[in-house]
Amino acid sequence: MQAHKGRGAVSGQASKRFNLPQREADGDWLDVVEDLDGPPRHPATTVTDEHPRSILSFNKSPDIPFDRSINAYRGCEHGCIYCFARPTHAYHDLSPGLDFETRLFAKPQAARLLRETLAKPAYHPAPIAMGTNTDPYQPIEGRYRITRSVLEVCLETRHPVTITTKSDRVLHDLDLIAEMAALDLVEVGISVTSMDAKLSRLLEPRAAAPVKRIAALGRLVEAGVPCHVSIAPVIPSITDQYLEDILQAASFQGVGRATWIMIRLPHEVAPLFREWLNAHFPDRAGKVMATIQSMRGGRDNDPDFFTRMRPSGVWADLFRSRFKLAMTRMGFSRPNIALDSSRFRRPSLDGQLSLL
C-alpha cells in the first residue's frame, strides 16, 4: 500500500468489527477510472455539523484521572497514526483509517449544551478534560472556535478544565487560559512524540511541528499557566530515542512537570499501525511489534484496566527507569496541579449567574 501525502493512515477500509455490509470496488472498473481521470486524488477534508443532545461525557474508568470530558469534534485532522480514538469512527460505519482524519464532525452548539448541563441543580463540578479523544485545537478549530466558546463558559462559571493538545493553536486562547490560570481553573498538557520534524510529519502529519509545541509550552509558562509536557505515545525503536531531548527542550522553557504514555493499539488501530510501519519503516516493523507485544502480554493491545496504562516487561521497566533518571537530572519535580472547583458559579439559562 502507498502512503498518502499529508495523511497518517495508509488505507481507508471500513471496519469489520460490527458485521456491517462489506463493499469492494471492482478492480477492472478502478483501472478504467484511473485511465480516464488519472491517479486518485489526495483525500480531501470534509466537515459536517453534528447536533448531539448533550456534550459532557461521564466515565467510571478507575485508571484515568478524570470522570468527565468534552470533545468538540469527532475525528481529527491531525491524522496521528497511533490515535487510540480511531475506532470510534467505526461506530458510524466510517473507516477508522482515512475517514477518521478526513471526514470530520463539529459540534457548534457545544457551549450552549455545556451551559445547560452546568445549570442543572444536581450537577457537581469537577475538572472537565478536553482533548481526550480528539484534539480541541486541530486545524478546523481555527474556523469553528468551538473550543474557545467552551472555555468562555468555563471561565464565566469558574469551572475547572484540563486541556491536552498537540497544537500551538492553544496560544490563540491564551487570554482566556491565563485568566483561568489565575483562578486555579486550568492546566494544559502538550504532547510531543519526538524532536524530529520529518518523523513527526509521518506520525502526525497535520499536527504542529515539535519545536512549535515546545515554544508554546514556553509561552504558557511565561503567562503563568500550569502546564506539562507529555511524551505520548512512546513507540519502541521509533520515538523512544528522543526522551531526553524532549525533556531537555521542555526544561529550557521552564516546564517543571512531565508524563509519558506507551503506545496503545486498540481494535482497528493495530492493523492500521502495522500498515504504517510496513510503508515507512519496513526494516524494523517486526522488531517494533515484537517489543510492543512483550509489554502487552503477547498481544498487540491490553484492554484491561490499570495494566493498559502501565506496560510490563523488561523494555517497559528500562524505559521507566530512564524516564525517572532524566527527570531527576533535568529538575522535573513539580507535583500534580490541584484545580479549584470551589469557585463554581452555576449559570441560569437566561444568561445570569447564580449567587449561591
pLDDT of amino acid 197 = 97
For range 30-59, the mean pLDDT: 79
Report pLDDT digits (tens) over 144-186: 999 999 999 999 999 999 999 999 999 999 999 999 999 999 9
pLDDT of amino acid 333 = 83
Interatomic CA distance for residues 85 and 105, integer angstroms: 14
- Angle, CA of 100, 25 and 93, to the nearest 5°: 35
C-alpha distances in Å from residue 67, one per residue of 60, 64, 120, 175, 343: 6, 8, 18, 27, 19
Q: Does an H or E element contain 120, and which?
A: none
Q: Name, in order, each residue with C-beta under 8 angstroms of 29's C-beta and a sequence gap of 6 or more.
A: none
pLDDT of amino acid 130 = 98
Phi, psi of 53 (to 5 degrees): -85, -20
Q: Is the pLDDT of residue 13 over 90?
A: no
CB-side neighbour CA atoms (13 Å) of 326: 23
What structural domains and CATH numbers belong to the chain? 44-330 (3.20.20.70)
C-alpha distances in Å from residue 227, one per residue of 17, 213, 221, 258, 349: 38, 12, 7, 9, 32
Ranges of beta strands (E only) in 133-250 are 161-165, 186-191, 227-234
For range 45-61, the mean pLDDT: 96
Q: Of 129-138, 192-201, 286-295, 341-350, which gets the smallest average pLDDT?
A: 341-350
Q: Name, in order, each residue with C-beta under 8 angstroms of 52's C-beta and a sequence gap of 6 or more.
A: 107, 109, 113
Report pLDDT digits (tens) over 103-148: 999 999 999 999 999 999 999 999 999 999 999 999 999 999 999 9
- Residue 7 has which C-alpha cell? 495523511
Q: Does an H or E element contain 47, and which?
A: strand 46-49
Quickly list H helices, 56-196: 98-102, 110-118, 141-144, 146-157, 174-181
Write the burial class of residue 265 (CB in 10 Å: 0-12 exposed, 13-18 middle, 19+ buried): buried
Q: Is the pTM of this model over 0.75?
A: yes
Task: Please compute Rg for the chain using Cα positions.
Answer: 21
Interatomic CA distance for residues 284 and 288, integer angstroms: 6
pLDDT of amino acid 337 = 85
In whole numbers, what is the pLDDT of the chain averaged over residues? Answer: 91
Q: Does an H or E element contain 128, and which?
A: strand 128-130
pLDDT of amino acid 335 = 80
Quickly list H helices, 240-346: 243-252, 269-280, 285-295, 314-330
- 70, β-bridge pairs: 56, 130
Grid cell 470522570 — which residue?
Answer: 67
